Structure 1
């Protein structure tokens, strides 16, 4: 399963600027981390009220069988904050 494609497929219908979606992957000692960046206008839509949408996205991404030996981690980046 391509985790990047999965994240993009989940997030694209939520945002008004799908062309601004950027997903970068990097490896840490414990995780295969994916950083999601969207247009500043769309950050609230991706995070959701009380972080519910972000948590739902993470639940789906973490539940999928990963091709990596490490656990997957999704970071939602915000221009005004480092991570949501």
Structure 2
């Protein structure tokens, strides 16, 4: 299995959901337990990415975590959606 570019995967999944695809940015950071990817979109598109009751965000997280090769990497993938409220 080849290495997955998670930033590119996240952008590819999110692009059809938003009205301003040029505002999508994905920032990578590592912690002790996770490879974290912080997703930033335009403030008007945050609701589209999160979805009703978080269903879209949950589906995105499931797909991204499923793309991880569990045999090679012991860290989990964590997708954080910046909702611009904090």
Same fold (TM over 0.5): yes
Displaced runs of 4+ in structure 1, greater than 6 A? Answer: none
Whole-angstrom CA distance in 2 between matches of 1:48 and 1:78:
12
Gaps of 5+ in 2: none
Whole-angstrom CA distance in 2 between matches of 1:20 and 1:46:
13
Q: Quick check: which has more Rg, 1 or 2? A: 2
Whole-angstrom CA distance in 1 between matches of 2:35 and 2:68:
13
Whole-angstrom CA distance in 2 between matches of 1:20 and 1:47:
16
Gaps of 5+ in 1: none
Whole-angstrom CA distance in 2 between matches of 1:36 and 1:30:
19
TM-score with structure 2 setting the length: 0.88
TM-score with structure 1 setting the length: 0.90
